[in-house]
């Protein structure tokens, strides 16, 4: 299948890219194209212009900033993130996640920013980035704004990003405890995924706070607030029991779609299984945190 014809522009600055999308007709930012080109080929998206952002310098940097936060440029490919020394040291679970997105060809060109902006519910990165309390920095014609990962995806295939806002960088605090991620999948996209991030006390014996997100079940990643509450100020050794106690009520609160990935009850059950496996990993990892 061939996409409909479009104009192709290669701006070299963010300002030029934002201006180019804002010009007359429908323009869209373009980087890896692993989702966008599929949609263009299937003619479910129509555009007049593709604005290629691959020539803009600085969008593929990964670093720890002066606020002890990790910054990932939106144009970083899954492959780059999976092999990056900063990510492997500070968030190994994110490196592993990116090493398992789709397949080797998609990981070579697909970007984390494109993944987020597409708003596909059956995706790996959004769930973990929400658990990491990430902020997404958008550059638009009206200036810069930050949106929390939790608020970015509005519904299936829809985000709060305006068409002329370019996602520049993803920022999250350097984790203060183990981060874990599990998924279950039939094809290449997750049917259910669960990410959990703990902050530990200096003695590593107690969970001071926990963030738990379940993805792919509804239109966007959902917090398991009951589990988060049950884990607050709980000894690491008691974490599994705390989760097991809170789990039935927490799972009941999830919005779960029945789709080709499975029935609602089945997928809700899987979310619980994956969460407990995350917990088992986090309990072991907690004892040796930081490495």
Partner 1 sequence: MTQVLAISFSLNGKTIAVDVPAHVLLIDLIRDRLGLRGTKRSCDMEVCGACTVLLDGEPISSCTTLAVDVDRRAVTTIEGVTPPDGLSRIQEAFVLHGGLQCGFCTPGFIMAVTALLETTPHPTDAEIRHYLDGNLCRCTGYTKIFEAVKSLARRQDAA
Neighbours of 276 (CB within 10 A): 16
* Choice between 55 and 248, CB closer to partner 1: 55
* Choice between 108 and 245, CB closer to partner 1: 108
* Choice between 33 and 121, CB closer to partner 1: 33
Q: What is the DSSP string of 27-90?
A: EEEESS-TTHHHHHHTTSS--SEEEE-TTSTTTT-EEE-TTSEEEEETT-BHHHHHH-HHHHHH
* Choice between 8 and 148, CB closer to partner 1: 8
Residues 34-73 that bind partner 1 (CB under 8 A): 34, 37-38, 40-41, 50, 52, 54
Cα–Cα distance between 188 and 280 in angstroms, integer? 25
Exactly one of 13, 65, 103, 144 binds partner 1 (CB under 8 A); which one?
Answer: 103
Cα–Cα distance between 152 and 132 in angstroms, integer? 14
Positive or negative: CA dihedral 71, 16, 78, 179: positive
* Choice between 43 and 241, CB closer to partner 1: 43
Segment near partner 1 (CB under 8 A); pick from 5-13, 14-22, 197-205, 277-285? 5-13
Exactly one of 45, 62, 86, 106 binds partner 1 (CB under 8 A); which one?
Answer: 106
Over the window 159 to 188, marking each residue x when it contacts partner 1 by CB under 8 A and - when it does not, the resulting string is: ----------------------------xx
Nearest to 76 by CA among 190, 172, 167, 180: 167
Q: Does 109 bind partner 1 (CB under 8 A)?
A: yes
Q: Does 1 bind partner 1 (CB under 8 A)?
A: yes
Over the window 74 to 93, marking each residue x when it contacts partner 1 by CB under 8 A and - when it does not, the resulting string is: -----x--------------
Cα–Cα distance between 152 and 150 in angstroms, integer? 6
* Choice between 108 and 225, CB closer to partner 1: 108
- Distance from the first to the final alpha carbon of the chain: 49
Cα–Cα distance between 176 and 284 in angstroms, integer? 15
Q: Does 102 bind partner 1 (CB under 8 A)?
A: yes
Name the token pair of 244.
């097991």
Three-state secondary-structure class, residue 128: helix
* Choice between 184 and 198, CB closer to partner 1: 184
Half-sphere exposure of 189 (CA within 13 A, CB side): 14
Q: Does 104 bind partner 1 (CB under 8 A)?
A: yes
Exactly one of 12, 13, 65, 108 binds partner 1 (CB under 8 A); which one?
Answer: 108
Residues 200-239 that bind partner 1 (CB under 8 A): none
Q: Does 8 bind partner 1 (CB under 8 A)?
A: yes
Query: Rounded to whole angstroms, what are the CA distances from 145 to 21, 149, 165, 167?
Result: 18, 13, 9, 10
Q: Shortest approach of partner 1 to residue 93 CB, angstroms? A: 17
Kind and range of the H or E run holding 147: strand 143-148
* Choice between 56 and 131, CB closer to partner 1: 56
Under the rule (CB under 8 A), what is the footprint of partner 1? Answer: 1-8, 33-34, 37-38, 40-41, 50, 52, 54, 79, 99, 102-106, 108-109, 187-188
């Amino acid at each position: 299948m061939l996409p409909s014809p479009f104009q192709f522009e290669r701006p070299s600055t963010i300002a030029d890219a934002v201006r180019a999308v804002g010009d007359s007709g429908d323009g869209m930012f373009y980087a890896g194209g692993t989702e966008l080109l599929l949609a263009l080929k299937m003619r479910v998206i129509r555009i007049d212009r593709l604005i290629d952002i691959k020539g803009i310098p600085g969008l593929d940097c990964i670093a720890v900033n002066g606020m002890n936060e990790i910054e990932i440029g939106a144009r970083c490919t899954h492959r780059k993130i999976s092999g990056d020394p900063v990510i492997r040291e500070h968030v190994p679970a994110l490196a592993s996640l990116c090493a398992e997105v789709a397949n080797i060809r998609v990981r070579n060109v697909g970007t984390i920013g494109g993944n987020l902006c597409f708003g596909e519910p059956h995706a790996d990165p959004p769930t973990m980035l929400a658990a990491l309390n990430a902020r997404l920095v958008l550059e638009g014609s009206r200036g810069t704004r930050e949106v929390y990962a939790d608020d970015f995806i509005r519904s299936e295939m829809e985000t709060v990003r305006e068409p002329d806002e370019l996602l520049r960088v993803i920022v999250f605090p350097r984790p203060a405890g183990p981060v874990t991620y599990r998924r279950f999948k039939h094809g290449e996209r997750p049917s259910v995924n669960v990410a959990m991030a703990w902050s530990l006390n200096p003695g590593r014996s107690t969970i001071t706070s926990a963030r738990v997100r379940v993805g792919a079940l509804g239109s966007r990643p959902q917090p398991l607030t009951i589990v988060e509450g049950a884990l607050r100020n709980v000894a690491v050794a008691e974490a599994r029991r705390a989760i097991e106690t809170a789990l039935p009520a927490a799972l009941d609160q999830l919005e779960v779609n029945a789709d080709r990935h499975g029935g609602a009850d089945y997928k809700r059950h899987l979310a619980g299984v994956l969460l407990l496996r995350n917990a088992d990993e986090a309990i072991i990892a907690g004892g040796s945190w930081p490495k």
